Amino acid sequence: MFNRELTIRGLVIGALGSIILTMSSMFIALKLSSLPWPIMFVVLMSMFVLKLFGNTNIQEINVTQTAMSAGAMVAGGLAFTIPGIWILNPNADVSLADLIVVTMGGVILGLIFTALFRKYFIVTKELPYAMGQAAAATLEVSDKGSKKVGLLFGEGINICTNNCIEHALLCTKDELKAQLKEQVANAKDEQIITTREALQAIHEADIIFYGIGSLYTSILPNLIVDGISEEIRRNKAKKIYFCNAMTQPGETDGFSVEDHVRAIERHSFEGAVDIVVTHSNIAHHDLLQKYQAMGSIPVHVKEEKHDYQILYRDVLSFEDALIRHDSSKIRDVIAEIIEQELK
């Protein structure tokens, strides 16, 4: 069995890949003022090239892709720092030797600080580093065979939860379904403990805001935790709900503003909402058609009588052809409500 990690061919492939990535990333960074993150590309490229030579293993591929990835990092350092020399001094005379010294100095300092901080951030703090995890999962999948790789592009991935992505990359669809069923069964037996700090914060609140977020996957999960809704009910402060602007496919299909409020009350208590803030904005027809093609339509008020007050406000942004709540506008509405309710 081939079990070597550091090989001459791996270093040569990594070095050549690093040079190519440095040049291409540098070009893109200077043209677009942004730097592509090439980890997944170099993982697949390293895997492909090494497998052309026959025997290889996950360790050799990992070493090779790490060497390749260094090229993009060097390009980032060059593209976003070196131009500063000419920004500060348009007539600066910098030789190629100077650039090489600065570049190598940056590489060495980067290696030193990476070695120093790695244990703290990755081992001690256990930060996620999603791209690194995705690269590792891809390498593991490649080692499992064609059925495992096929799942990366199969329908099985569509039934994953956020906590199941790593498992989804490493198992077949049937195995994944079995794991999900087991997780759901185990979750039913787990008790979520409400922290004293959370209950105290609700108890002392002068105003309570719900949102902004997905109804069933952001707002309601907080309300169904033992003690949270009860503490909100005991607090006589006004409770304001920022309603979603658009329905979410598979979650709130066809929902009106009233449907959102009813869902909140059904999973908490009657009278959980005193004021609903909804948008008064009108999106362009073409933008609405784009969302409708994805199964999403605007959330509107449909009924005439309500047990709560409805505020229509300009709270949306349509930048980048997206319908989103505008944080600055939300801030202004919150300030308006606080001033009115606490005067």
Candidate from 31-40, 46-55, 84-93, 263-272 with smallest mean pLDDT: 31-40
Beta bridge partners of 210: 241
Closest CA to 340 of 277, 278, 279, 281: 277
pLDDT single digits (tens) 14-28: 888 888 877 887 787
pLDDT for residue 36: 66
Residues 291 and 323: beta-carbon distance below 8 Å = yes
- Domains delineated in the chain: 8-131 (no CATH), 155-188 (no CATH), 196-341 (3.40.50.10680)
pLDDT for residue 260: 96
CA distance 316 to 209: 18
How many C-beta atoms lie closer than 10 Å to residue 207's C-beta? 16
Count CA atoms within 13 Å of residue 336 on its CB side.
14
pLDDT for residue 106: 80
CA distance 272 to 224: 13
- State yes or no: pLDDT of 153 exceeds 50: no
Identify the band that residue 125 occupies on the pLDDT scale cut at 50, 70 and 90: low
pLDDT single digits (tens) 46-81: 888 888 887 777 788 888 888 887 777 777 777 777
What sections of the chain are H helices per DSSP? 8-32, 39-52, 58-81, 83-88, 96-118, 130-142, 146-151, 165-168, 173-188, 196-204, 220-223, 228-234, 257-266, 285-293, 327-341
Instruction: Give me the residue label for tokens 């949270």.
Output: 228
Length of the chain: 343
Candidate from 127-131, 228-232, 339-343 with smallest mean pLDDT: 127-131
pLDDT for residue 90: 82
DSSP string, 284-313: -HHHHHHHHHTT--B-----S--SSEEEEE
Instruction: Give me the residue label for tokens 């994944």.
Output: 176
pLDDT single digits (tens) 213-267: 899 888 998 898 889 999 999 999 999 999 999 999 888 999 999 999 999 999 9
> Above pLDDT 90, what percent of the chain?
36
pLDDT single digits (tens) 328-340: 999 999 999 999 9
